[in-house]
With several copies, the nearest count.
Chain A
Amino acid sequence: MAVRKVSAAHIASLAPREDFPILAQTIRGVPLVFLDSAASSQKPHEVIDAMSRYYETSHANVHRGAYFLSEQASASYENARITIAKFIHARSAKEIIYTRNTTEGLNLIAQTWGLQNIHSGDVILLTEMEHHSNIVPWQMLAQRSGAKLVYTPVTDEGRLDIEAYYRLVCEHAPKLISFSLMSNVLGVIPPAKEMIAAAHSAGAVVLCDGAQFTAHYPTDVRDLDCDFLAFSGHKMLGPTGIGVLYGKRALLEEMPPFLGGGDMIHEVHLQSFSTAELPWKFEAGTPAIAEVIGLEAAILYLQRLQMTRVAEHDHAITKYALNRLSELPWAHVIGPASAEDRGAAISFTIDGLHPHDAATLLDRDGIAVRAGHHCAQPLMERFNIPATARASGYVYTTSNEIDALIESLKKAHAVF
């Protein structure tokens, strides 16, 4: 592979780096270069402060109180739902269900809609590039229901095999199709809108895993026309402990409840209960109130940055990083080499250097990348590799940080 010269100019961070207190840290005496945003992003002051302020001035349990604090907390909790609904262009805030994370959202669908609608012999169509969170819940459902799991393959280039997808949709007429809007390993962004349209023609219900996508791209569930979408706050500048499940209202109305308990009920008698209206029907027990408020702050922050500019920035960083990695003949990107239709998660292997050793050596230079199977063991098997290293940037990432990564990789490679 020829060594190309990189011509791209310096890329500054999109978000002011001083907004992110953690980025001022030094790690083992060197400045932190955080390139593990695909696992979890860092948080701006505004998000951290929104939660502290909430606890300092207006915490109380929601929904059940007729006093000032509780009414305030309830209003914040419900206003955030509207902010989130608008952020993904949902039709109504009733379509927004708070969860702990993407994983819980996917499991919720498997254990409610899935148990109700998936029967023995039915096909659930996934893809080979899914995260464990979009595989294991369906294996559990398949065990219970007798459904069959079919997977759309990934090409050697590291893209979804779209021809195969259309074929599998026709061949199996799956009851449910679930796939990630952006792979956390390959970075790939499949043509979701077309895939969803095809799925609907074949009568399938479509669930999208937005864990990676919603952090980086404008998301429009009405335009996509997906039936469900799950994502996590912590990957998009928000706090841990909060995620979102979007669902089309008509589907949500028909679904049985998920967890039972306080807040999700209308009436309870000793031997029977009736469920609350949407969205509360799916929110049992005291919710993650502060975290909802933190997530709203994160979304307002992203909206001020503008999601189209976030997408542009992350694309520029991705392109720059792919270019620079291509200078290293002993480094091999797992996933498309071009930045087209792929996001800011770049996995690679290094000749003679196990990803885990690479991560440890990079860490000595203050550079945080992830090494492992990235919760995508089937994809590792597909590429016949035990693991990859993965560098993933976000709104605070600069091209200087990519340069630091490349230099450190060179050093690490020289050791081995």
Chain B
Amino acid sequence: MAIDDLYREYILEHYRSPHNKGDLLQPDKYAAYSNPLCGDRIQMGVQFQDGKVADVRFNGNGCAISQAAASILTDMMLGKTPEELRQISRDDILEMIGPDIGPARQKCALLSLDVLRKGILGEPEAEDEELD
């Protein structure tokens, strides 16, 4: 029974058998963030070669959404240049995770992207759009 759009087989697969899970012994870049709401914590190590992601591993405990998202994101990262990594958007992730995701769970889905952006790529805290 597909209980709903969110916990479909694709997500559960990534959760049960996450890709790129583990630790890199000597990452070029390493970062960790936590989501205080649910206690999720994602750490990520990246190895670059010829300016591209040669290896990436994530670790941490968390809900199915954050773990599956990390699995999916790290898959996407492989082979990309930092420039290309910067192109990965929130919407890219949310599209993969599923449309039916409430605001509280979006944070779970986007935690690994946060680690990538702020921790690995060193982007500054996103300035919010100015209100008109």
Judge A-B direct contact (beta carbons within 8 Å).
yes
Contact A411 to B131, CB < 8 A, known contacts A74-B104, A356-B63: no
Number of interface residues of B (CB under 8 A): 29
Range for the number of chain A residues in contact with chain B = 35 or more
Is A276's beta carbon under 8 Å from chain B? yes
The listed residue (B1, B15, B65, B130) touching A356 by CB distance below 8 A is: B65
Q: Is the CB of B104 within 8 A of A373?
A: no
The prevalent SS among residues of B at the interface is loop
Q: Within the assembled complex, what's the spacing in Å between the Cα atoms of A116 and B37? A: 29
Does A270 belong to the interface (CB within 8 Å)? no
Q: In the assembly, what is the distance between CA of A265 and CA of B15, in Å?
A: 29
Nearest residue (CB) in A for B8 is: A415
Contact mask A373-401 → B, CB, 8 Å, 1/0? 10001001000011100000000000000
Q: Which residues of B contact A94 (CB under 8 A)?
A: 128
Please tell me if A355 contacts chain B, counting CB pairs below 8 Å. yes
Contact B64 A371 (CB under 8 A): no
* A354 part of interface (Cβ distance < 8 Å): yes
Binds B, one of A2-10, A83-91, A209-217, A325-333: A83-91
A93 at the interface (CB under 8 A from B): yes
**Shortest distance from the beta carbon of A382 to any chain B beta carbon, whole Å:** 13
Q: Which parts of B46-95 form the interface with A (CB within 8 Å)?
A: 61-65
B105 touches A360 (CB 8 A): yes
Tell me, rounded to whole Å, the shortest Cβ–Cβ distance linking B108 to chain A: 6
- Residue pair A66, B105 in contact (C-beta under 8 Å): yes
Residues of A within 8 A of B131 (CB): 82, 85-86, 89-93
CA distance A415 to B2 in the complex (A): 8
Evaluate contact between A386 and B64: CB separation under 8 angstroms.
no
Whether a CB of chain B sits under 8 angstroms from the CB of A71 is yes
Report if A64-B37 is in contact (Cβ < 8 Å); known contacts: A356-B65, A357-B64.
yes
Given contacts A91-B131, A377-B39, 7 further A-B pairs with CB under 8 A are A89-B131, A93-B131, A354-B38, A355-B38, A360-B105, A361-B4, A416-B64
A198 to B115, CA, bound (A): 44
- State whether A63 touches B7 (Cβ < 8 A): no
Question: Are B128 and A92 closer than 8 Å at their CB atoms?
Answer: yes
Contacts of B130 in A (CB 8 A): 91-92
Contact B38 A371 (CB under 8 A): yes
Closest 10 CB pairs of A and B: A386-B39, A354-B63, A356-B63, A387-B39, A66-B104, A356-B38, A92-B128, A357-B64, A71-B102, A357-B63
